[in-house]
Structures are given as C-alpha cells and as structure tokens.
Structure 1
Amino acid sequence: MRFTSVNKYKGSTYEAELDDGRKLYLHADIITDFGIRAGMETDRDTLRKIVYASNFRRAYQRALYLLDYRDYTYSEMFKKLLENYKSEALCTAVMKRLTEHGFIDDRRYAERMARKLVEIKHFGYRRCKREIMLKGVDQFIAEDALAPYEEAFGENLMELLNTKHSRYLTDIEDRKSIEKVKNALVRYGYDFSEINRAVKEYFESAGGLEEEN
C-alpha cells in the first residue's frame, strides 16, 4: 500500500491518505518519526506501528492534560484512558511511561490524601484507610501513608470531643446525647474502644476542672 497524499490538517496534525481511501490523522512528530510522505510505500506491519504510535501519543498527552487539573492514582488514570482508547495493552504501556516519569505515583498520592484526611478532616484511621483505598490505592501503601499519624488520631479524637461535640457532652447521665456523639465518631472512622476511652477521659477531665473551680 502507498500514501497518496500528506497534507497539513489542523495545528500540528496532518492528514495522510492511503491508496485504499483510508485517512489517518497524525501528529507532526509521528510524520517525522516514520518519515511519512506522499508516494511512500508501506506494509501492514509498519502501518500498524504508525497507528499504535499515534494512539500512544494521543493517550499520553490526554493523561498529561488531565494531570494538569489534579492528581490521579494509577487505577483512576488507567480507567480514564481505557474509556477512550479501549486497548488494555496500549493503556498499560502509557501508564508505564507515566509512572517512570513520576507523573503517576500512588505513594505520593496516598501521602497527600492522608495528610488532608487526618489534619483537615480529622477522620479516624479506618475512615482514612477506606477513603484512600477507594481511589484504587493498594492496602499496604495506604497503611504506610497513615503510619506517621498514629498519635494524631488520638489527638484529633479528643479535639472533636472538645470542640464539635462538646455541646452534647454536658451531662454524663445523658446517655442519648452521648450515644449520638459516639455514633458520629464511628462514622468518622474511629473504633468503639478508642471512642469509649476518649469519652471517659473527656468527662474525667471536665470533672477535674469543675473541682478546681
């Protein structure tokens, strides 16, 4: 088969027409890399390589475009690319390039997310781990990202009791209000055992303050 014409189409894209009527829309880099020109003879194997290289470039550039707006985990980006390009082999190759160049890094993503969930949202360990893994991050990577915050979880729990939930903790005999607080903290991702211990410490501290006054 033969390329009958190669003409500029839009921007850096060229329209390359084959003698069987097919038209390929290729970036200037692909035209240069394969030396494509009018009258050039090609075979099916070379044509397949040209199409693959073109699709790879499009998928890679699409990924970089998406990454300009926010970080993605490996799983998120792979699914995003697969929606458009359908080929698992192609998307896997693109993901390999992205990870090699450091554009996709699940450890970095998990560390940033852990910092936000712990320091800003004050979620407990279980909720943090679940939220990170929902992004497609491996369990062990999620656990490693949360490891530095072991002490912070206890501090955050007490801070929630002293600020957000203190208005419900005015009477140690008000079981209904106390249970409401405990259930809210379970949704935050804290264990019943640590919640019970924190609530006990909260009332003991409050009682101590009253005695001093």
Structure 2
Amino acid sequence: MVITDIFKKQGTRYQIELDGAYWTIIDVEIIADFHLKKGMEVTEEMQEKVQRAADYRRGKERALYLLGYRDHCRKDLVDKLSKNIDRDLAEEIADKMEELGFLDDRKYAEKLARHLILVKKRGERRALQEMALKGIDRETAVEAISLVEPDENLLQQLIERKYLRYLGDEKGRNKVIAALMRLGHDYGDVIQAVDEAEASLKEE
C-alpha cells in the first residue's frame, strides 16, 4: 500500500491515507521517526510498527495526565489505559511510569491506608478489602497498614460522634455493633468500646 496523502488535522496531529483511504491520525513526531511521506510504500509490518508507536505515545500522554490529576496504583492505571490500547502496551507504559518515579504502588498504598484508617475510620479488615479493590496486593497492603498508628481511642471517638444516640437498649446496641463491624473493626475491640460507652451513659 502507498501513502497517498498526509495532511494536518489539529495541533501536531496529522491524518494519513493509504491508497486513497483513511489509515490513521498520528503525531508529527511519529511521522518524523518513521520518515513517512507521500508516495512511500508501507508494508503491513510497517503499519503495525507505526500504529504501536502511535498508541504508545498516546497512552503515555494519557498516563501522565491521569497521574498528574491524582495518584493511581499500577493495576488501576493499566486498566484505564487498556480501554484504548493493547494491555501489553499499557503494562509497558506502566513500567515507564515506575521508572520515571510517577507510579509507586508502595507509596500509593501507604497514603491510601492512612486515609482509610485515620480519615474514614476503617478497621484493618475493611481497609484490606478496599485496598484490594483498588488493585493493591495483600502483602503491600498489610505492610502499609502496619505503618499507620490510629488513635487508641478511635472506636470510642467514633461511637461518641456517630452512634451514641443509638445506645440504651439491646436493639440499639446491636445496631452499633453491626455498624462498627461493617467498618472492619475487630469484634472484641467493638464489644469493649460499646460496653465502655454504655457504662459512661449510665454514669451520667
């Protein structure tokens, strides 16, 4: 097949036609790298190489945009990139982002663990579940959680702020216990905190 036309579309992007039909839209840098020009014969192998280079460039730009907007773990980034490009290529781009220091699952996990435990008041079990959903492997998640030092009175504070009004009867007590368990807190810790909260109420 022969390149019959190359013309500018927008910014630095150009459309290329092969044998009079649309082929692709790529950046001028890719055109320069492969020395593409009108009248040039392009084999299927060359087409694949050009398209892969174009996809890589587009994927890298997308990765930089996503990572500039907010932190991502590797799996999350690869999943998003794979919506538009081949997954193997997305993995290659993720490797590059790690090499450049823009992608770091360990740092991401530590930041996420602090947010889940200190801000959202999750227990370790729930935090592990939510981190797994984000694509963090268990070993990294466990290590990140171990670095977080929550307030030893976290459950008492949580009960006083959100659940104290429910205490006073068995139905309310069970409701509070269930709510704290859903947040991933240890059963023994929950019972102790609820007992202490109820004892304080009786003293008032």
TM over 0.5: yes
Any conservation in 2 of the 1:110–1:137 contact (CA below 8 Å)? yes
1:31 is aligned to 2:40 = no
One of 158, 163, 178 as aligned partner of 1:160 = 158
Q: 1:141: which partner in 2?
A: 140
Distance 1:67 1:12 in 2: 23
SS in 1 for 2:49: helix
List runs of 5+ in structure 2 lacking aligned partners. Answer: none
Q: State the Cα distance separating 1:176 from its structure 2 match.
A: 2.6
Q: 1:184: which partner in 2?
A: 179
SS in 2 for 1:4: strand
Any conservation in 2 of the 1:107–1:145 contact (CA below 8 Å)? yes
Distance 1:163 1:22 in 2: 63
TM-score of the pair, normalised by structure 1: 0.83
Q: State the Cα distance separating 1:153 from its structure 2 match.
A: 5.9
One-letter amino acid matched to 1:184: A
Q: State the Cα distance separating 1:130 from its structure 2 match.
A: 1.0
Moved more, 192-201 or 110-119: 192-201
Any conservation in 1 of the 2:13–2:26 contact (CA below 8 Å)? yes
Distance 2:48 2:127 in 1: 45
1:199 is aligned to 2:194 = yes
Distance 2:171 2:19 in 1: 80
* 1:64-97 CA-partner distances (Å, limit 9, x unpaired): 2333433222222222222222x22222222222
Q: 2:97: which partner in 1?
A: 98
Distance 2:26 2:173 in 1: 66
Q: 2:107: which partner in 1?
A: 108
One-letter amino acid matched to 1:34: F
Any conservation in 2 of the 1:59–1:91 contact (CA below 8 Å)? yes
Moved more, 139-148 or 11-20: 11-20
Distance 2:146 2:135 in 1: 19
Moved more, 88-97 or 123-132: 88-97
Q: State the Cα distance separating 1:25 from its structure 2 match.
A: 1.4
List runs of 5+ in structure 1 lacking aligned partners. Answer: none
RMSD across aligned positions (CA): 2.5
Q: State the Cα distance separating 1:19 from its structure 2 match.
A: 3.5
* 1:117-138 CA-partner distances (Å, limit 9, x unpaired): 1121111111111111111110
Q: 2:119: which partner in 1?
A: 120
TM-score of the pair, normalised by structure 2: 0.86
SS in 2 for 1:67: helix
Distance 1:164 1:137 in 2: 30
SS in 2 for 1:16: strand
Instruction: Give the number of the structure whose alpha-carbon radius of gyration is greater.
Output: 1
Q: State the Cα distance separating 1:20 from its structure 2 match.
A: 6.6
